[in-house]
Amino acid sequence: MKFILAKICVIYLTFISISCTNTKTKDDSHHSDAIAYTEAECDFGDIQSPINILSQRTKGIIKSRINIEAHCNAVENKGHTVQIDFDSTSKLTFGDDRYSFKQLHFHTPSEHQIDGITYPMEMHMVNVLDNDESDKPHFLVIGVLFKMGKENAFLNEFLNKIPRDHEGLVKVNEAEVNLEDLFGSYDCEEMKHYFHYNGSLTTPPFTETVSWHVNQVIFEASEEQIKIMNKIEGNNARHIQDLKGRYVEKEDLYVSSK
Q: Which residues are marked as active site?
A: 80
For 20, the 3-state DSSP assignment is helix
Contacts of 241 (CB under 8 A, 6+ apart): 39, 40, 48, 49, 50, 51, 199, 200
Nearest alpha-carbon partner for 97 in 140, 137, 154, 41 = 140
Contacts of 188 (CB under 8 A, 6+ apart): none
For residues 224 and 81, what is the distance between their CA atoms, to the nearest angstrom? 17
For residues 123 and 111, what is the distance between their CA atoms, to the nearest angstrom? 9
Nearest alpha-carbon partner for 35 in 239, 176, 236 = 236
For residues 177 and 103, what is the distance between their CA atoms, to the nearest angstrom? 13
Cβ–Cβ contacts within 10 Å for residue 17, how many? Answer: 11
For residues 204 and 12, what is the distance between their CA atoms, to the nearest angstrom? 22
